[in-house]
Amino acid sequence: MIINKEKQLIDTLARVEKSPKGIIAIFIALSKLKGKSKNVNLNFAYKVALNISPILQTTLFSLGKGDIVLIGRNLSLTAIDDIIQKISNVLDKDMYFQKERRSLFKTYNLEFEMPIFKSDIANSINNALVKNIPNNDTKQDLSPEILNNIIRKLKEQNISETIRRQAVAKIIKGKKFEIVFKEYFLSIKHLNEILYKNVNLTENFWLFKHFTESLDLKMFEIIPKLNENIKKPKISLNLNINSVLSPEFIQFMKGKDKIIAEFQTTDILNNFSGYLKAKEILNKNGHKVLIDCVNISELEFVDLDLFKPNYVKILWNEEFLENRKHTLIKELAFKIGGKKIILSRADSDKALTFGNALGIELFQGYYVDNINAVFSKTNCKFGSKCSLAECAERKREIEGENRNKCFNLNMLDKDPSFKNNF
Q: Are residues 126 and 148 located together in one domain of the fold?
A: no
**What span, in angstroms and rounded, lies between the C-alpha atoms of 214 and 120?**
37
Q: Are residues 158 and 273 located together in one domain of the fold?
A: yes
Q: Is 139 inside a domain boundary? A: no
Looking at the 3D structure of the chain, how many domains does it have?
Answer: 2
Q: Residue 408 to residues 104, 222, 231, 346, 386: CA-CA distances in angstroms?
A: 62, 24, 18, 28, 11
**What span, in angstroms and rounded, lies between the C-alpha atoms of 8 and 15?**
11
- For 405, phi then psi, to 5°, come to -75, -15
Q: What is the CATH number of the domain that holds 324?
A: 3.20.20.450
- For the segment 119-125, the average pLDDT, to the nearest whole number, is 75
Higher pLDDT, 282 or 209: 282
Q: Are residues 225 and 339 located together in one domain of the fold?
A: yes
Given a cut of 80, is residue 128 above it in pLDDT? no
Q: Are residues 186 and 304 located together in one domain of the fold?
A: yes
Q: Is 104 inside a domain boundary? A: yes
pLDDT at 2: 40
Q: Which residues in 288-315 are b (16+ Cβ under 10 Å) and which e?
A: bbbbbbbbbbbbbbbebeebebbbbbbb
**What span, in angstroms and rounded, lies between the C-alpha atoms of 300 and 31?**
13
Task: Compute the chain's Rg from CA coordinates.
Answer: 23
The per-residue pLDDT for range 199-214, each reduced to its tens digit, is 888 778 788 889 999 9
Q: Is 137 inside a domain boundary? A: no
Domain end residue (candidates: 131, 164, 196)? 131
- Cα diameter, the chain: 73
Q: Which of 340, 349, 290 is nearest to 316 (CA)?
A: 349
Q: Are residues 122 and 152 located together in one domain of the fold?
A: no
**What span, in angstroms and rounded, lies between the C-alpha atoms of 71 and 56?**
10
The span from the first CA to the last CA of the chain, in angstroms, equals 34
Q: Are strands 176-186 and 163-172 parallel, antiparallel or unpaired?
A: antiparallel
| pTM (whole model) above 0.85 | no
User: What percent of the chain has pLDDT above 90?
Assistant: 36
Higher pLDDT, 179 or 100: 179
**What span, in angstroms and rounded, lies between the C-alpha atoms of 24 and 108?**
6
Q: Are residues 204 and 339 located together in one domain of the fold?
A: yes
The per-residue pLDDT for range 181-238, each reduced to its tens digit, is 999 999 888 888 888 888 888 778 788 889 999 999 999 999 999 988 888 899 999 9
What's the DSSP call for residue 137? -
Q: Is 108 inside a domain boundary? A: yes
Q: What is the CATH number of the domain that holds 93?
A: 3.30.70
Q: Which of 33, 31, 15 is nearest to 23 (CA)?
A: 15
Q: Are residues 265 and 325 located together in one domain of the fold?
A: yes
Given a cut of 70, is residue 36 above it in pLDDT? no
Q: Are residues 43 and 167 located together in one domain of the fold?
A: no
> What domain range includes position 16?
4-131
Q: Tell me which of 78-87, 244-253, 256-265 is least confident.
A: 78-87
Three-state SS at 67: coil
Q: Residue 311 to residues 36, 79, 345, 419: CA-CA distances in angstroms?
A: 33, 35, 16, 24
Q: Are residues 125 and 148 located together in one domain of the fold?
A: no
DSSP run (H or E) holding 370:
helix 366-378
Contact 303, 281 (CB under 8 A): no
The per-residue pLDDT for range 52-108, each reduced to its tens digit, is 777 777 888 888 677 888 898 877 777 787 788 888 877 766 666 666 666 688 888
Q: Is 329 inside a domain boundary? A: yes
Q: Is 138 inside a domain boundary? A: no
Domain end residue (candidates: 92, 107, 131)? 131
pLDDT at 127: 46
What's the DSSP call for residue 236? E
The count of other CB atoms within 10 Å of the CB of residue 15 is 20
Taken as a whole, the chain contains a residue count of 422
H helix runs in 237-295, sequence order = 241-244, 247-252, 265-270, 272-284
Q: Is 204 inside a domain boundary? A: yes
Three-state SS at 393: helix
pLDDT at 83: 82
- For the segment 241-245, the average pLDDT, to the nearest whole number, is 97
Q: Is 317 inside a domain boundary? A: yes
Q: Are residues 225 and 310 located together in one domain of the fold?
A: yes
Q: Are residues 235 and 345 located together in one domain of the fold?
A: yes
- For the segment 292-312, the average pLDDT, to the nearest whole number, is 85
Q: Are residues 282 and 401 located together in one domain of the fold?
A: yes
Average pLDDT value over all residues in the chain: 84
Contact 381, 197 (CB under 8 A): no
Domain end residue (candidates: 91, 106, 131)? 131
DSSP, residue by residue, 301-354: H--GGGG--SEEEEE--GGGGSHHHHHHHHHHHHHH-GGGEEEES--SHHHHHH
